[in-house]
Amino acid sequence: MGAELPLLVTFVGYCLILMVVAYLSTKLTSNLSDYVLAGRKLSGPIVALGAGASDMSSWLLMALPGAVYQFGLSMIWLPVALLAGAYCNWRFIAKRLRVYTEVAGDALTIPEFLTNRFKANNSVMRIVTSLVILIFFTYYSAAGFVSGAILIEYAFAGVDYHTALYVSGAVIVLYTAVGGFLAVNWIDFFQGTLMLFALIVVPIVALTSLGGLNITLENIAQQSADHLNIWQNIKVLGLLSMFAWGLGYFGQLHISARFMAVRSIKELPIARVICMNWMALALIGAIATGLFGFWYYFNNPLAEPDTVFILLSQKLFNPWLSGILLSAVASAIMSTVSAQILMSASILAEDFYHDMLRKNASDSENIWAGRISLLIASLAAISIAARNDQSILKAVGFAWSGLGCAFGPVLLFSLFWRRTTYAGALWGIISGAGTVLLWGYLSEPGQVLYHADTLPGFEMLPGFITSSLVIIIVSLRGPKPQADIVAEFDQTQQIIAEEANIGSQILQQ
């Protein structure tokens, strides 16, 4: 218990900080808009680190170092694709989405935005988009809960997986339910800073203990040269699988929500610079952790590659500092899961409860509806995580692809193509999500689409292409959008044009 006591104290202290922040944020949460989007008042730096932390999740500190540990530098193409995708998301989606969601009836969620964007007179669009979001976010959240359980299981000997799952789940649900979107973003700013610190410190200390960079790389080259080969065992389908992940950014709604919540589009250029630099440094640190961890444990290989960061943190640092570093893993997990379950809760509260059942509900009732919805979404995700039957990378890849194909094309066309119609958008969402679900089943071992060269995320390519083609074909074959829809599109374009030079001016100051 001697080594575990500092870990326990550090973890408890970390959780108390989260609860205090959540409580303080309740003082600034008075209605559903505050709870779901923080009243659209977030600053650029908060949005930047919030988007980065909620994006990377446990994948950054567990799955990516584990993949590099297991397969070597050939996994570098995945971070490259993610950096490219994230930049394009910030560059092309952020500003337009922030402006258009406010122009289109001050929409608080993507289902509400799409309903308002196409002036839908029925609930079909909202129901379809909400169901797709709930399906894939539940699966995505489950992967995060699995990561949290694994962290506690390895950090504290004797704690079984299911106990760890329920403890980590309870902490995440509690602070998210209490504080809402504002608390999630404040905490993500803190967690993003902690994650970056950990990903810089751990590989540097590991490298020092191994004798330095030159010696370490020479030893790896002599014993396992393939581990340093960025093309090792990379086939065309595998490379396409990794690059496909970049497309997924356009449909990740927990990231899009940050764009919608920024207080002014004038802050987006600075936010983009902060987030992209944070991502680049963090990804380099994760790759280095996996590579140096491979040599550190070369003579005693790890049974679970995803735990390489956790084990290095415990091995190289005293228990107190190790507790802080493992809190960084908890940060990565909590930042993403909290954003995802809050998004699911927002859908249930705003798009079902408020708009379909209780249009005249009070602000207090709507907030409580959001909290109850969050509990429901969390329980669904935890029940899936309790099975613990898939790798983190595979689970995240499937959910990432589903969201990316369902919402990436429809958001791109809705924001950039005036001719997009309601029917085109609706069938684009259905076809994108359906392709991923069908492909996921048919590409399992023994099924007709199975191919050994593909990696998790490959289904993004057929899903994205199918959805895009459906949107174009259905939109062109149907009647042109009505005048008020075109007017709102043009109004958005005008607002963006008027602010076109603001970002560059801020960066020059």
Residue environment code for 476-498, b if the CB has 16+ CB neighbours within 10 A, otherwise e: eeeeebeeebeebbeebbebbee
Q: What is the pTM of this model?
A: 0.82
Query: Rounded CA gap, 380 and 348, in Å?
Result: 13
pLDDT in tens, 108-121: 888 889 989 999 87
Residue 48 has pLDDT above 90, yes or no: no
CATH topology (fold) of 42-389: Sodium/glucose cotransporter (1.20.1730)
- More confident of the two residues 204 and 355: 204
How far out from the chain centre does Cα 283 lie?
Answer: 14
How confident is residue 179, by pLDDT bands cut at 50, 70 and 90?
low
Beta-carbon contacts of residue 207 (< 8 Å; ≥ 6 apart): 213, 216, 288, 292
Is there a contact between 334 and 190 (Cβ–Cβ < 8 Å)? no
What local confidence, expressed as pLDDT, does residue 170 receive?
81
Quick check: 104 and 113 in contact, CB under 8 A?
Answer: yes
Report the 10 Å Cβ neighbour count for 225.
Answer: 11
- State the Cα–Cα distance between residues 49 and 395, nearest whole angstrom: 24
Mean pLDDT, residues 250-262 taken together: 87
Of 174, 141, 133, nearest to 385 (Cα)? Answer: 141
pLDDT in tens, 128-142: 888 888 888 787 788
Give 424's pLDDT tier (boundaries 50, 70, 90): very high
pLDDT tens, residue by residue, 407-422: 999 999 999 999 999 9
Evaluate whether 150 touches 131 at the Cβ level (below 8 Å).
Answer: no
- Mean pLDDT computed over 260-270: 89
User: Which pLDDT score is estimated for 487?
Assistant: 94
**Confidence band (pLDDT; 50, 70, 90) for 507?**
very low
Instruction: Judge whether 498 and 265 are in contact, CB under 8 Å.
Output: no
3 state SS of 18: helix
Residue 22: its pLDDT value, please?
64
Q: Are 168 and 148 in contact (CB under 8 A)?
A: yes
pLDDT classification of 5: cutoffs 50, 70, 90: confident
Q: Which residue has the tokens 């943190």?
A: 313
* Mean pLDDT, all residues of the chain: 82
For the chain, give the percent of residues with pLDDT over 90.
33
At residue 262, the 3 state secondary structure works out as strand
More confident residue, 59 or 278: 278
pLDDT number for residue 499: 74
Does residue 291 contact residue 217 with C-beta atoms inside 8 Å? no
Helix (H, G, I), strand (E, B), or coil: what is residue 220? helix
pLDDT greater than 70 at residue 466: yes
Query: What's the half-sphere exposure (Cβ side, CA atoms, 13 Å) at 131?
Result: 10
